[in-house]
């Protein structure tokens, strides 16, 4: 039971980081310096959260 829950949570985390790396462009950074990179990461994570929010708000099609 606990292991099944762990697998589901792990899948959610891996999907998020996969999206952030591929779609969000954080596989290779465009900026140098901690401040600029932090800004890019913040923007990418915010974009991921917005896309996830849109998917969660979409009515389920049954």
What's residue 30's pLDDT? Answer: 83
Task: Kindly report the average pLDDT of the chain as a whole number.
Answer: 90
> Hey, which bits of the chain come out as E strands?
none
Distance between CA atoms of residues 14 and 11, nearest Å = 5
- pLDDT at residue 46, as a whole number: 96
Question: Which residues make Cβ contacts (< 8 Å) with residue 44, sequence separation at least 6?
Answer: 20, 24, 25, 26
Q: What is the pTM of this model?
A: 0.73
34-56 pLDDT, tens per residue?
A: 999 999 999 999 999 999 998 88
Domain positions in the chain are: 1-57
Confidence band (pLDDT; 50, 70, 90) for 9? Answer: very high
């Amino acid at each position: 039971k606990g292991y099944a829950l762990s697998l589901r949570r792990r899948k959610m985390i891996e999907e998020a980081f996969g999206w952030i790396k591929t779609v969000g462009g954080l596989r290779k950074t465009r900026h140098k310096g901690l401040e600029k990179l932090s800004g890019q990461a913040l923007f990418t994570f915010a974009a991921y959260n917005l896309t996830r929010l849109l998917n969660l708000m979409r009515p389920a099609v049954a």
